[in-house]
Structure 1
């Protein structure tokens, strides 16, 4: 059975689509996008003006991702890999590749301005990662189109400061000798790169805020942006899932201490909470020197010790 027949057979079985993300993608390509695996399709490509407009819309993303793309390419570029940064539609905004490999990658459409959505070229790393909103590794004959079965792609979606998928970063290779272990290493590297870019975008969105790391089991960055009054300004998707946050709750205003279970003994007593925060700030500024902190606050050392005990400040 050739590749095209295999795709058709698997995609038409609902049970296979339910149990396999690749089969589910194949089914979407057949039923939703009306594609055929034997088509000699190349990715759709934006015109020059459209491409410039797409880059302009994503300029903050490009700025925050460029150094990460350079770092990643320095690691994998000599191994015959190509890197793409796309927007949420799968438009390749930035590319990194070695000149010696350009012919191969340009031939399959891994080039700036091309559109790597599932609707454009079927199951592929970029399009499927964006559709499923999760990192994927699409190896050779897992691609929908027969013409793309030379490729192996490791891709991770990138989320903005509201937790919405806004981009993808992809490493692709045409090498026949790429081992499963090597592809898994690329998969891990691209996921870490996406997380760093997400962190950069989050910090950019809240330049004046304090950024707080929320302990979670997942590797995704779980960050809160906090204003001077301890109110949450923003949260990454991992933090939102961990703490039950959404845009509406953030807009209303919620103290970070309430979310994280801090100052439980002082909850409901905002004046005491404010006093405790003031003591901690002065002690921090004095490097833990109680006498210096007491002088700054205009109280005696003994009074400061009593307040520290009452307010549970160590």
Structure 2
């Protein structure tokens, strides 16, 4: 049942100038999107033709999500939750739910084709996750619209193989008392989102070698992955890899050497130089001749390969 004081709570927080992330979303809803917190109309629904078009536009990401939607629903479905996969506009294009709960979820608009962007629905899990591109939970009266304060939604953004925002993965419930499980649900949603992205990334580069980078925590909802072709050039990078390595589309078009292959080549080159120096008793000129290099070139290699310190060459 809607709280008649919710709208006043939203407005009072904004009047007080609160600087929290929630207040920032409420402020966008009111001043940027010109929404009324007391609006009680349900979300608008796409036509069947529009929904099919939205599903088609999701492409490989929708196909890559199927097994993970099933697995996530198995983990949370018994708690009265449904699972939604949305596009980048906040429209669910696929879902999982218990049949007995479907009529309730449909009434709330937690259904395929519903429009859950922040611009239309104000602060809500799906729309605000997409607007801020981060994992978040919007519990009950944190929603902007009074009619949505019965919902609890935990959502992770989804990024495509080019690192672009492609949608969101949502777990929603109409039951109270889930606040204590927020951490567990966020981890489950985040892990499922990462698996979907990883599978879609691999399928986008079926002939490439996939290189996994150390996860530096750049983005919990995106796996740092590179796709490397037969010439050892990077031809694709996930969003987390782009952030970690500061990669752009232009840099990828120009061609970048694979970090793992570069390391391998450096080690191989270092070993070859050391063997030549050993053979020649540390004589740089003789070692250069063995390697077919000038002495100046070999000196530069000694410095680059960090073979100078603590060694005596002549």
TM-score, normalisation: structure 2:
0.80
Aligned partners of 2:261, 2:26: CA distance in 1, in Å? 42
Native 8 Å contact 2:58 2:166 kept in 1: no
Alignment of 1:103-252 (within 5 A): 103-178=103-178, 180-218=179-217, 219=220, 220-252=222-254
Gaps of 5+ in 2: 273-304, 306-314
Aligned-partner SS, 2:183: helix
Following the alignment from structure 2 to structure 1, what is the Cα–Cα distance between the partners of residues 16 and 160? 36
- TM-aligned CA deviation for residue 43 of structure 1: 1.0
Counterpart-to-counterpart distance in 1, 2:71 and 2:194: 14
Larger Rg: 2
CA distance in 2, matches of 1:143, 1:261: 50
Is the partner of 1:245 in helix, strand or coil? Answer: coil
**How many pairs does the alignment contain?**
266
How far did residue 231 of structure 1 move?
0.3
**Structure 2 partner of 1:6:** 9
Q: 1:59 to 1:33 in 2, by over 3 A?
A: same
Structure 1 unpaired stretches of 5+:
273-311
Task: Write the distance in 2 (CA, Å) between the matches of 1:260 and 1:124.
Answer: 45
- Whole-angstrom CA distance in 1 between matches of 2:16 and 2:7: 15
Q: Secondary structure at the match of 2:84?
A: strand
Provide the rounded CA distance (Å) in 2 between the counterparts of 1:138 and 1:257. Answer: 39
**Aligned match of 1:59:** 59
TM-score by length of 1: 0.80
Q: Over the residues paired in the alignment, what is the CA RMSD in angstroms?
A: 2.1
Aligned 8 A contact 1:41 1:121 in 2: no
139 and 266 in structure 1: CA distance in 2 versus 1, 3 angstrom threshold: same
Runs of 4+ in 1 over 2 A off after TM superposition: 11-14, 257-267
- Give distance in 1, aligned partners of 2:51 and 2:104: 22
